[in-house]
Structure 1
């Protein structure tokens, strides 16, 4: 039997896009322009992810996502 929980991502597709751009050192403004969304929307996605993870900021969120295997450094 396959354990589907191992295949289910913690992040939405958009959150993953945003955090992958954050680890490429892109600014909120750069990310918004690249994805065609507002800076406020980018900040909301980041904030939602921080809350999901129970961490206190972007840097901690990135570290936790790397630790969990949700993000990879290239």
Structure 2
């Protein structure tokens, strides 16, 4: 029996929601409206994810999350 049906995600649920919207080209403002949170909170989640990944910006974070299979383009 397989012990790894789902690997443990690097992202929290909220971080995943935010990056899925970033992949779809939503702005910080649009994401904050969609998720009913402040723009500052959106930016904080993005910054936390960038730090976790050890990359230098949101574009690199998106690429790395796609490469790791944490996000998809669908």
TM-score band w.r.t. shorter chain: over 0.9
Residue 3 (structure 1) shift: 4.4
Does the alignment pair 1:66 with 2:63? no
Q: How does 1:26-65 map to 2 (within 5 A)?
A: 26-65=26-65
Q: What are the ranges of 5 or more consecutive residues in structure 1 without an aligned counterpart? A: none
Give TM-score, length-normalised by structure 2. Answer: 0.93
Q: How does 1:7-26 map to 2 (within 5 A)?
A: 7-26=7-26
Residue 2 (structure 1) shift: 1.5
Q: What are the ranges of 5 or more consecutive residues in structure 2 without an aligned counterpart? A: none
Give TM-score, length-normalised by structure 1. Answer: 0.93
RMSD after superposition: 1.3
